[in-house]
Amino acid sequence: MRAIGGDQVEEAVAGCVAALRPAVERDWEGVKAAGLDWSCHQTAFHIAEDLVAYAANLAGRAQDDYVPFEITLDDGTDNAGLLHVVESTGALLAAAVRTAPREVRAFHPYPFRSADREGFAAMGIAEVLLHTHDIAQALGLPYEPSEELAESVLTWLFPHVQPGPAAWPTLLWATGRGELSGRAPVTEWRWRNNLVIPTERLTLVGVRPAAARDLRLGGDGGFEWVDGGPFQGTRDAAGMVVKAYEAGVHRPEFGLFALVRREDGRAVGGMGFHGAPDEEGRAEVGYDLVEAARGQGYATEALRALSEWALARDDVRLLMATVDQENLPSQAVVTRSGYDRATVEEERTAREQDDMDSVLQLYLRRD
């Protein structure tokens, strides 16, 4: 899996400074950054503000808002000094990312009010890459980050954006900064950190496309698994995420979740949806557990929480689960999670219209 962490934050910042340093003797206050109302000086300072804010929230474990402080420049700070501030705040974010435990999440407003260490790293990198582009364009300087950095930002923060032929032009297009052949211009955009759903003993952690690709290829997806994990069903579900992402139809909140045990941070299974709800508000759920974690109520706890989260939405009316008729433990899981066995007619319709296998039983939970 392509890494995203402190090293990548530092790489992005180093690229920013290298690109802008040739113009430190020029007037950054009097030139607007490309596509922005800010001057080049204000935009560079904004990069530093974001880097230190992300570092503070992650290091301080902020939960409800940004840590209440601001940075200022000393009077008379020149452009070279401003770049030094960018370097220093980038180093602070890199350190915060490196030292934060895997399970830590801290406040960020969009879209689910939190981000993990990789999310903060990706957001910091995105701010650096995009605003360096804005400044460089305005000053007539060449700038293009590595394809690896741009791809990391896309796969960690833009899971809803279909990959393009090259990552950097795709990221510029996705943020309203460029054109991409065959795609309409973007006028409004926001990135997406992954969704987490807490339960008493577990955290359901949304699996990003980068992690899903790694799982599909036999890796651990960035999770520490209990012995025997991940189960093949989780790898298959990860493949479905990758396929949807590459087709441009992935809706992250209706993808795959890793079931992470809160007591030790180890993943015990996977659970999620077979796709976004259809026009009638129907969505199918599926799950599996590593054998060592079975029989302890984890699947029931997770399925109940995921189902309640989904049915609280306006676009979900009916949840479906199919279970092998010989799999009595799984039948018990869905029943304890509020699902009812479908009627004979409902199962017949599912077999005829949805090609449900004859050895499966259909269970439903309604809003």
Query: How does pLDDT run across 107-135, given as a tens digit for each residue?
Result: 999 899 999 999 999 999 999 999 999 99
Predicted pLDDT of residue 8: 98
pLDDT at 357: 87
Between CA 139 and CA 90 the distance in angstroms is 22
Q: Are residues 244 and 336 in the same domain?
A: yes
∠ CA 35-38-42 to the nearest 5 degrees?
130
In Å, what is the CA distance from 363 to each residue of 17, 270, 282, 309?
57, 19, 12, 18
Examine residue 347 and state whether it is found in any structural domain, yes or no.
Answer: yes
Amino acid identity, position 154: L
**Domain annotation covers residue 189:** no
Separation CA 98–CA 55 (nearest Å): 11
How many structural domains comprise the chain?
2
Kindly provide the residue ranges of all beta strands, DSSP E only, lying in 127-213, ordered along the sequence: 196-198, 202-206
Mean pLDDT over 130-150 rounds to 98
Q: Are residues 15 and 159 in the same domain?
A: yes
Report the pLDDT value the prediction gives residue 319, as an integer from 0 to 100. Answer: 97
* Integer Cα distance of 134 and 142 in angstroms: 11
Q: Which two tokens stand for residue 220?
A: 């651990």
Q: What pLDDT score does 1 carry?
A: 60
pLDDT for 110 = 87
**Do 97 and 222 reside in the same domain of the chain?**
no
Pairing, β 202-206 against β 256-261: antiparallel
Task: Say if strands 105-106 and 115-116 run parallel, antiparallel, or are unpaired.
Answer: antiparallel
pLDDT at position 342 over 80: yes
C-alpha to C-alpha distance for 160 and 247, rounded to whole angstroms: 10
Are 217 and 334 contained in the same domain?
Answer: yes
Residue 207 in any domain: the answer is yes
Q: Does the residue 350 lie in any domain?
A: yes
Q: How confident is the model at residue 353, as a pLDDT?
A: 84
227 and 303 together in one domain:
yes
The Cα angle at residue 249 between residues 243 and 254, in degrees rounded to 5: 85
Whether 2 shows a pLDDT value over 80: the answer reads no
In the predicted model, what is the mean pLDDT of residues 225-245? 95
| Residue 91 resides in a domain | yes
Mean pLDDT for 140-161 is: 96
Mean pLDDT, rounded, for 81-107: 97
Average of pLDDT values for 331-344?
A: 96
Alpha-carbon span 222 to 258, nearest angstrom: 10
Six-digit token string for 74 = 């000393």
Asked whether residue 33 falls in the same domain as residue 146, the answer is: yes
Do residues 211 and 221 lie in contact, with contact meaning Cβ atoms separated by under 8 Å? yes
What is the span of the domain harbouring residue 122? Answer: 6-174
pTM, two decimal places: 0.94
Q: What is the pLDDT of residues 164-211, one digit of tens each?
A: 999 999 999 999 999 999 999 999 999 999 999 999 999 999 999 999
Same domain, 166 and 214: no
Q: Enumerate residues 6+ apart whose C-beta is below 8 A from 8.
A: 121, 125, 149, 152
DSSP annotation of 316: -
Mapped onto helix, strand or coil, the DSSP state of residue 287 is strand
pLDDT at 344 over 90: yes
Identify whether residues 84 and 202 lie together within a single domain: no
Residue 367's pLDDT is 80
Matching residue, tokens 């392509």:
2
In contact, 279 and 196? CB cutoff 8 Å: no
Whether residues 39 and 80 share a domain: the answer is yes
